[in-house]
Structure 1
Amino acid sequence: MKEQISNPFILALTAHNLTVEIHKHSAYQIVLSNDAPFNSTIKGELCENIYGFIIKPQVPHLCVAEKGTLSVLNIEPYSKIGIELSSGFGPDKDRIIFHTRNEISEYFQLETGNFKVSTITSALLSNVPATHYDERVTKMVEYIRSNFFERDISPQTFSDLVFLSPSRLASLFKEQTGSSLSKYLLWTRLRQAIYSTLSDKDKGLTEIAYFSGFYDLPQLNKYMYEMFGMPPTALKYNSDLIQVH
C-alpha cells in the first residue's frame, strides 16, 4: 500500500486519447503531446493543433486529444518548483502555448524530443536551486511518507517528533520547501489515492480514500476537485489514463 514519493509536489499522469470537460484547479498544469497535436480551450479561447501548454492555477480549460499520448503534470503552486515555474509567465499572462515540438524543447532546454513525464520532471528540477534540508525537515518528510494514511496527524505530531513548537516547525518547513506542511501531507495523500485508483481498478473509492488518509470519500472528492477539477471517478472509469508518477 505504501509507496515512496520522490517528487511530492508534482502529480503527473501519462494519458492517451484523452478528452476532459472544462474544469479548473489549484495547481499549475503542464500538458504536452508526445506525438500528435491536440485541441484545447483555455479561458474560452480555442487553441487548435497545439503541442502543449502551461497554465496558472484557477484557469478554466479543457483538452481534446483524440490521438496520441499526453504528459500531464500538476504542480503545487507554493512549492519551490511551482514558484520557479511562475517566473516564466509574462505580466498578465495566464498561459504559455506551444505550437511546435521545437518550442517545447527550447522552453525546457531539452536535447531530446521525448516529452515523457520523467524527462519534463527532470528539466523542472534542474532549474530549482539545490536545497540541503535541515535534518528535522527530512525527519518530518520521512514520517509523512511512511504514515500518510494515519488520520490523526496534527502539528503536535511533528512537534513531538522533532522537538520544536508547532509554529517554529511550520516556519522551518515552509522556508525550506516553499510549501506548508499541511499541503505536503495533502499532496502525498492525493498522490497515493490517484496511484491506487489507477493501479487497482477493482478497489472501491471509499476504501482508497480511507487507506490514503482521508476520512471518507466526500473528503477525497472535495480535495480532488480543488486540486485537479475532477473527482476520482473520472480517473477510475477512464481507461485511457494509463500511468501515474
Structure 2
Amino acid sequence: MKNAQRSQLFLWRGCSLVIGPGIDSRFHAHFATQLTWGLDAPFQARLAPDLPWITTRAAIFGSNQPHQIHCEASLLAHLFIELPQRSPAAHSVLVADYDSAAGFAAVRDGLVPARHGGLDLQQAGQLAQDWLACTTLHDRARPGFDHRISQALASIAAHPVQQPLSGAELAASVHLSASRFTHLFRQQTGLSLSRYLLWSRLMAAVDAVARGDNMTHAAHGAGFADLAHMSRTFRNTFGVVPSELQKMAIAFKREEK
C-alpha cells in the first residue's frame, strides 16, 4: 500500500526540494540536475525503456537525461538544482555515493522531521546546501561562468513570466549580437534560451499554486495558453501531472523587491 503521507515542496530561485512518498513516473527529462535519495528504503530507476531497473538508495539524474523512477512505499527526497548552481557536465549516476560522505549524516538527521511534516523553509534550505556540499555540484559560483549570462539570468528572473524578454532584448542588454548571445547562452548553460524560459514558466506556475491560485489561474498566470497546455508540458518535464502539486504542502521563498 502506498504511503499516505503528504509530500512537501520547498521552492527557492535556482533550487527546489521535494520530500514525500515516491511517485512512479513516466520517462521524462528536465534541465535541472536531480539528486534523489531514499529516506527509508531503496528505490528503482532506469535511463531507457530497454535498460533493466537498477535498485539504488542514492542517484543523480543529469540535465536533459531521460529517466524513470519506480518505488513501492518508501519516502524519497528529490533535490532539483537549476542554473547557475549546477555543473553542466553532471552525468546521471544511478548508484551514487554522496550518501557515504561524512557531511551527509547531517542531511539524514535533518530529514527525520520531514517524515512528520515538521520541516520549515529555513531548515530545508540548510539541508539542500549540506546535500550539495556532499557532491561535486556545490560550486555555486562556477569559475568561468560568463557574467553576461549571469546578468541575463537575473533579468529573466526579474521580468514578468507572462511577457518574457526576447533573445534580442536580452542580447542587447548585455551588449551582444543575438546570434552571439544565443550561442553563449547554450554554451554556458547547456540548453537553449527557450528551454530555460519554459522551465521558468513551470516554476512560476508552481509558485502560483503555492500562493493559493487554482490550477487554471496558475497556468494562465505563467503564460500558458490553457491548463491543458501546462499539464502536457508539466508531465513531459516531470513525469507526473500538475495536480500532484495540490497534494503537497508547499513552502517557497518570495523574491526580494
The equivalent of 1:161 in structure 2 is 173
The equivalent of 2:243 in structure 1 is 233
Return the letter of the residue paired with 1:85: A
Tell me how far apart the structure 1 counterparts of residues 45 and 188 of structure 2 sit (CA, whole Å): 36
Return the letter of the residue paired with 1:81: R
Tell me how far apart the structure 1 counterparts of residues 237 and 202 of structure 2 sit (CA, whole Å): 9
Q: Provide closer, same or farther for how the CA distance between residues 154 and 215 of structure 1 changes in structure 2, counting only shifts above 3 A.
A: farther
Return the letter of the residue paired with 1:235: L
Tell me how far apart the structure 1 counterparts of residues 251 and 36 of structure 2 sit (CA, whole Å): 15
Q: Provide closer, same or farther for how the CA distance between residues 215 and 157 of structure 1 changes in structure 2, counting only shifts above 3 A.
A: farther
Return the letter of the residue paired with 2:144: T
The equivalent of 2:89 in structure 1 is 84
The equivalent of 2:144 in structure 1 is 131
Return the letter of the residue paired with 1:58: P
The equivalent of 1:215 in structure 2 is 225
* Greater alpha carbon shift after TM alignment, 123-132 vs 110-119: 123-132
Q: Deviations over 1:6-45 (max 9, x none)?
A: 42xx5x33222x1323412113532113x41143354575
The equivalent of 1:26 in structure 2 is 29
Q: Structure 2 stretches of 5 or more lacking a match? A: 1-10, 108-126
Tell me how far apart the structure 2 counterparts of residues 227 and 244 of structure 1 sit (CA, whole Å): 20
Contact in 1 for aligned 2:85/2:139 (Cα 8 Å): no
Q: Structure 1 stretches of 5 or more lacking a match? A: 90-94
Which has the larger share of strand? 1
Which of 72, 94, 98 is matched with 1:104 structurally? 98
Identity within the alignment, % = 21
* Greater alpha carbon shift after TM alignment, 221-230 vs 157-166: 157-166
Tell me how far apart the structure 1 counterparts of residues 85 and 191 of structure 2 sit (CA, whole Å): 8
Contact in 1 for aligned 2:98/2:104 (Cα 8 Å): no
Tell me how far apart the structure 2 counterparts of residues 39 and 177 of structure 1 sit (CA, whole Å): 30
Contact in 2 for aligned 1:22/1:60 (Cα 8 Å): yes
The within-5 A match list for 1:25-64 is 25-27=28-30, 28-33=33-38, 35-40=39-44, 42=46, 45=52, 50-55=56-61, 57-64=65-72
Q: CA deviation at 1:189?
A: 2.0
Tell me how far apart the structure 1 counterparts of residues 26 and 146 of structure 2 sit (CA, whole Å): 36
Return the letter of the residue paired with 1:121: L
Q: Provide closer, same or farther for how the CA distance between residues 168 and 110 of structure 1 changes in structure 2, counting only shifts above 3 A.
A: farther
Contact in 2 for aligned 1:5/1:145 (Cα 8 Å): no
Q: Residue 13 of structure 1: SS of its match in structure 2?
A: strand
Contact in 2 for aligned 1:39/1:65 (Cα 8 Å): no
Q: Provide closer, same or farther for how the CA distance between residues 222 and 165 of structure 1 changes in structure 2, counting only shifts above 3 A.
A: farther
Q: CA deviation at 1:194?
A: 2.2
Tell me how far apart the structure 1 counterparts of residues 202 and 161 of structure 2 sit (CA, whole Å): 11
Give the count of matched residue pairs. 215
Return the letter of the residue paired with 1:166: A
Q: Residue 217 of structure 2: SS of its match in structure 1?
A: helix
